[in-house]
Amino acid sequence: MVESDPSIFTLIIQGNIPCHKVYEDEHVFAFLDINPCSIGHTLVVPKEQSATLDGLSEEASAAVGRVLPRISRAVLAASGATDFNVLQNNGEAAFQSVFHVHFHIIPKHDDGSGLTWPFATTQLDPGEGAILAERIRSHLK
């Protein structure tokens, strides 16, 4: 599914849907997630509406990157957690449900609430790694 225009987060940013806002500047808006994984679960959203991160402008990305640590510190101080995850989903298969870029700040509390890490890992083959890294570098030129 692709988010229609305007997205639900644009409607929140515009004040047309209520939220518990924690931060706003020229480019960025942050508010509490309506279905928190843990106490303090916060969404940090660029005002620029792009469905996924790879479509976001450098200006909007930089603006989000600039404030993520500060908002994280505030979330930790307010929620009492010291550990946390920053999660960013892109595409339905990658668990994205709102198609407007957003970063989750999810505190990990002593009671276990927060993000769990369910992914099985594999060992990177050195030969395949060399080929893949070169292929990625070629797309960055």
Catalytic residue among 41, 100, 102, 104: 102
Burial of 42 (0-12, 13-18, 19+ CB in 10 A): buried
Among 3, 19, 53, 109, binds ligand 5GP (CB under 6 A): 19
Q: Rounded to the nearest whole angstrom, what is the least distance from the CB of residue 125 to ligand 5GP in the complex? A: 31
- R_g of the chain, CA atoms, integer Å: 17
Counting contacts by CB under 6 A, is residue 123 touching ligand 5GP?
Answer: no
Annotated active-site residue 109? The verdict is no
> What do you get for the CA distance between the two ends of the chain, in Å?
31
Among 85, 89, 113, 115, binds ligand 5GP (CB under 6 A): 89
Among 39, 51, 98, 115, binds ligand 5GP (CB under 6 A): 98
Of the two residues 27 and 102, which places its CB atom closer to ligand 5GP in the complex? 102
Nearest-angstrom CA–CA distance, 30 and 102: 9
For ligand 5GP, how many residues bind (rule: CB under 6 A)? 14
Q: Rounded to the nearest whole angstrom, what is the least distance from the CB of residue 36 to ligand 5GP in the complex? A: 8
Contacts of 97 (CB under 8 A, 6+ apart): 89
Nearest-angstrom CA–CA distance, 135 and 104: 30
DSSP string, 63-93: HHHHHHHHHHHHHHHHHT-SEEEEE---SGG
Counting contacts by CB under 6 A, is residue 51 touching ligand 5GP?
Answer: no
Binding site for ligand 5GP (CB under 6 A): 8, 17, 19, 31-35, 43, 89, 95-98
